[in-house]
Chains A and B, each alone.
Chain A
Amino acid sequence: MARFSMYLPPFAPDYSGVCSALFDLNALTVIHDACGCTANYTGYDEPRWYGSDKAVYCSGLRESDAIFGNEDKFIARIALAAAERKPEIIAFVGSPVPMVMGTDFTGFARELENRLEVPAFGFDTNGTEYYNSGAYAAGIALLERFADSAVERKPNSVNILGATPLDISGEDFKSLQKAITDAGLEINASFFTGLTLEQVRGAGRASVNLAISQTGVRLARYMERRFGIPYVVGFPAGELVITDWVSAIHAAETEKRNVTLEVKQSDDASILVIGDEVFAQSIKYALTKCGKCADAATLFGVEPSLYTDTLDLADERTILDTLNSGKYNTLIADPLICQIAQENMRCIAVAQYSVSSKVCPITSKKYVGTNELIQEAL
């Protein structure tokens, strides 16, 4: 059903999630579009683009192609670029027009792979879903194709799952890495910041998966099914909860069970945290540990069978109604969401690239492994 939006921009779409997830690999990524979708990704959803040598291209789709298909033309274009770039993988990524055309992305990828002898993937993204579904699809495609099932488990090693720049800023990601190594753990693979194909191949070695976003949760569930790796959902959103988080990782490894950093909803909540579901719940957890009650709300859909109390802000109307409900006096959210809150609401802006991209007007609070954000909210 159509959704109306008066104040907020659309959030990062599915095809940006695919491209973001593959960015650090030696990939030839082709968005099948006219130019606007590629420009959405390169211009607004990829902070690593300026000065980059990554091979992300637009297919140059035109109206006549939409009518006649012209698959051979695009295969020829991709073949030319592949000969020039010599990628390890090729990704052919969908946009709205191919959805209407009915492009067979899987078949197209198979054809590419047969002709070029380079592993190729097709993603039938269409610009109506959020980035996390695209990042998840890319992660699954990589794991299904490259991850070795016969690897030996390595104790005290973790995979970071669901960390594109759309999920977490570069500085907070570095803090996350530090929190992991400070806990005496080794990072086995990092999906999707600094990811290599070698890491993908050995992803099954990790003893615990750390899901730091909704994308991460979906990947963790897949890896639990395939490799039996337990997972921890959440990240340490403050110094006080690092101990809890490290304990959860050890519990997951030793007891072979999944752990979600979670506290129950309180009727007294006066703080509202909005963002990715895992982000919002991790901040809520840290606030609760500091004696503050908060509610967590997601912009990107609720993950099934995970948290029980996340508010689902599926459209702008629901966001506005929640902000104006009178229940909350403090908001922790992207600055563009803060801008539509009532004037008497105390706002603590945390920039989320999937929302405000590079046009964020403020210096964002840091939140991983530091009390910078939590302190502000107390």
Chain B
Amino acid sequence: MHDFCAQTLRYTAPSHGDWGLVRIVSLLPESHIMFVCPAACGRHGALGAVDKGYKNRVAYVYVDRSDIIAGYDGCIFDGVAQTLSMLPKRPKCFMVYVSCLDNLIGTDMDAVVAELNTKYPDIKFNYGRMNPISLEGNTPPAVSTTDAMFGFLEPAAKEADSLNMLGNFVDKDHEGELYAFLKSCGINTARHLSHYSTFDAYMEMARSAYNLVLSPIAKYAAANLQAKHNTPFLFIPATYDTDEIAENYSKISAFIGSAASYDFNADIAETERAIETAKAALSDRPVSISSEAVIKPFTLARFLLKRGFNIASVVTEEVAAFDADAYDDVKNQVEVINPLGTDVIDFKHRRPEVVAIGYDAAYITGSSHIVNLQGDQGLFGYHGTQTLMRLLAEAAMVESDLKALMDEYGLVV
């Protein structure tokens, strides 16, 4: 992975961020979260939770210097007891979070969780680490959180006609061809965390025979599920490149071990029409792509360049390994803007005529022509490309209020 800010201080644009851990963990049905950390560490997550209406899913134990020196295992047990006594309904699962400083203190969270599971046998406990200090390691917060969430699943008898989709906060769009394709491969049930409103029902995700990993944050969890449940996984992040989409569907088919009978011709034709419509709507207007909007920004840039679009810039602080080939292909053709760069505050990248894919690109270019997309959202396959093209064409015509879009989305770092 290439990191553009390895040697520098980092700027934090107002457009930076995503769901945040509290919102992600709140996807777990009937769950409750408790953070044990200095008060400051909880502020952004708590306010994000207030903003989006799930503050009732999270409690806090604010530790002070004396707790940090003496160790705060006891504070965790007291906090859990207090939380449970105040909740109107007993949760089915409970996540205890510690923060960066615990990496140095070394609370034995496995032992703490084991004791909690013994003390409250009707509730399943696990822990997570909100520790961006570990961003350069193998298990940064979003990775360890995804792992902890799926760590609740217990091995179960497999259903050969089912799979899970992991790593995407929002389910993939059911209007797309993905589900019809999966059905033609013999997959009748495609499961996603958002489908469940009870914890017991959520446990059926353990019955899926396959895991499709749509974001790198879920690869670690998928590897552990493979070890624990013997469920194989395929990492297949969203792409908008039609050649890659065809390859991806072949990979999924091979992964499941079933030849697909699905005919993509109509989807391909519709995608080509959408691309031409978007190109006409943009009429050579420059496009800027944020890595927070799409997981493979350089792959998207390469594809759009190949199709005759005018790609001005890619806004990203790093190049992921799975996007590196595309970066090599386009790095001399498009400007690469580091959104964490100390010079972003000079606003020298201002180009209001740009059509911006994602918030970082919009903020940095000063454009109000915005494709309102984060983390590929529900997009996948040909239908994903069609949707992106429609959003691009609309953004070229319509101005949006970036601040309002970001507030509505609820960005948390």
Q: A: which residues have CB within 8 A of B? A: 1-16, 30, 33-40, 42-45, 49-64, 66-67, 76-78, 80-81, 84-85, 95-97, 99-101, 126-128, 336, 356-359
Are the C-beta atoms of A9 and B101 separated by less than 8 Å? no
Are the C-beta atoms of A57 and B101 separated by less than 8 Å? no
Q: Nearest chain B CB to A358's CB is how many angstroms away?
A: 8
**Chain B residues near A45 (CB-CB < 8 A):** 43
Q: Could you mark each residue 385-413 of chain B with 1 if its beta carbon is under 8 Å from any beta carbon of chain A, else 0?
A: 00000000000000000010001000111
Are A96 and B103 CB-contacts (below 8 A) given A10-B39, A44-B44?
A: no
Closest to A359 in B: B51
Q: Nearest chain A CB to B212's CB is how many angstroms away?
A: 29
Are A81 and B342 CB-contacts (below 8 A) given A43-B12, A64-B136?
A: yes
A38 to B83, CA, bound (A): 29
Closest to B14 in A: A50
Q: A10, A15, A85, A97: which contacts B342 (Cβ < 8 A)?
A: A85
**Chain B residues near A100 (CB-CB < 8 A):** 68, 101, 104-105
Closest to A42 in B: B12
Q: Nearest chain B CB to A315's CB is how many angstroms away?
A: 8
**Chain A residues near B114 (CB-CB < 8 A):** none
Q: Nearest chain A CB to B9's CB is how many angstroms away?
A: 4
Which residues between 43 and 81 of chain B lie within 8 Å of chain A, taking CB atoms? Answer: 43-44, 46-51, 55, 59-68, 72, 75, 78-79
Are the C-beta atoms of A2 and B105 separated by less than 8 Å? no
* Chain B interfacial residues counted at CB < 8 A: 67
Q: Nearest chain A CB to B150's CB is how many angstroms away?
A: 23
Listed A/B pairs (5) with beta-carbon separation below 8 Å: A4-B61, A10-B43, A54-B345, A63-B134, A80-B7
B123 CB–A CB distance under 8 Å: no
B343 CB–A CB distance under 8 Å: yes
**Chain A residues near B136 (CB-CB < 8 A):** 62-64
**Chain A residues near B82 (CB-CB < 8 A):** 4, 6
Q: Nearest chain A CB to B86's CB is how many angstroms away?
A: 5
Q: B10, B42, B137: which contacts A35 (Cβ < 8 A)?
A: B10
Are the C-beta atoms of A96 and B100 separated by less than 8 Å? yes
A97 to B16, CA, bound (A): 22
Closest to B403 in A: A50
**Chain A residues near B110 (CB-CB < 8 A):** none
A97 to B100, CA, bound (A): 7
A176 to B71, CA, bound (A): 46
A120 to B83, CA, bound (A): 44
**Chain A residues near B67 (CB-CB < 8 A):** 1-2
A60 to B322, CA, bound (A): 24
Are the C-beta atoms of A9 and B403 separated by less than 8 Å? no
B157 CB–A CB distance under 8 Å: no
**Chain B residues near A64 (CB-CB < 8 A):** 136
Q: B: which residues have CB within 8 A of A? A: 5, 7-12, 14, 16-17, 36-44, 46-51, 55, 59-68, 72, 75, 78-79, 82-83, 86, 99-101, 103-105, 130-137, 342-343, 345-347, 403, 407, 411-413
Q: Nearest chain B CB to A116's CB is how many angstroms away?
A: 14
Q: Nearest chain A CB to B280's CB is how many angstroms away?
A: 33
Q: B39, B63, B103: which contacts A11 (Cβ < 8 A)?
A: B39
Are A42 and B14 CB-contacts (below 8 A) given A9-B47, A61-B133?
A: yes
**Chain A residues near B11 (CB-CB < 8 A):** 57-58
Are the C-beta atoms of A6 and B83 separated by less than 8 Å? yes
Q: Nearest chain B CB to A49's CB is how many angstroms away?
A: 6
Are the C-beta atoms of B38 and A126 separated by less than 8 Å? yes
Are the C-beta atoms of A97 and B101 separated by less than 8 Å? yes
Are the C-beta atoms of A43 and B40 separated by less than 8 Å? no
**Chain B residues near A96 (CB-CB < 8 A):** 37-38, 40-41, 99-101
Closest to A77 in B: B9
Q: Nearest chain A CB to B226's CB is how many angstroms away?
A: 27
**Chain B residues near A357 (CB-CB < 8 A):** 43, 47
Are the C-beta atoms of A43 and B135 separated by less than 8 Å? no
A51 to B99, CA, bound (A): 30
A118 to B186, CA, bound (A): 68
Task: Please give 10 more A-B residue pairs, beta carbons under 8 A apart, in addition to A1-B66, A2-B78.
Answer: A3-B61, A4-B82, A6-B86, A9-B55, A44-B47, A57-B9, A62-B133, A63-B103, A84-B342, A97-B133
Are the C-beta atoms of B17 and A66 separated by less than 8 Å? no
Instruction: Give the top 7 A-B pairs by smallest Cβ distance, nearest first.
Output: A127-B40, A39-B413, A13-B40, A9-B46, A34-B132, A57-B9, A10-B39
Most buried by B among A1, A34, A56, A85: A34
A2 to B59, CA, bound (A): 13
Are A99 and B47 CB-contacts (below 8 A) given A13-B39, A57-B342, A63-B103?
A: no
**Chain B residues near A97 (CB-CB < 8 A):** 100-101, 103-104, 133
Q: A9, A34, A81: which contacts B8 (Cβ < 8 A)?
A: A81
Are A63 and B47 CB-contacts (below 8 A) given A49-B14, A55-B342, A80-B7?
A: no
**Chain B residues near A80 (CB-CB < 8 A):** 7-9, 342
Are the C-beta atoms of A43 and B101 separated by less than 8 Å? no
Closest to B366 in A: A51
Q: Nearest chain B CB to A36's CB is how many angstroms away?
A: 5
A9 to B40, CA, bound (A): 10
A15 to B40, CA, bound (A): 9
Are the C-beta atoms of B41 and A127 separated by less than 8 Å? yes
A186 to B68, CA, bound (A): 47
Q: Nearest chain B CB to A335's CB is how many angstroms away?
A: 10
A356 to B46, CA, bound (A): 10
Closest to A85 in B: B342
Closest to A336 in B: B50
Most buried by A among B47, B51, B68, B101: B47
**Chain A residues near B66 (CB-CB < 8 A):** 1
**Chain A residues near B103 (CB-CB < 8 A):** 63, 66, 97
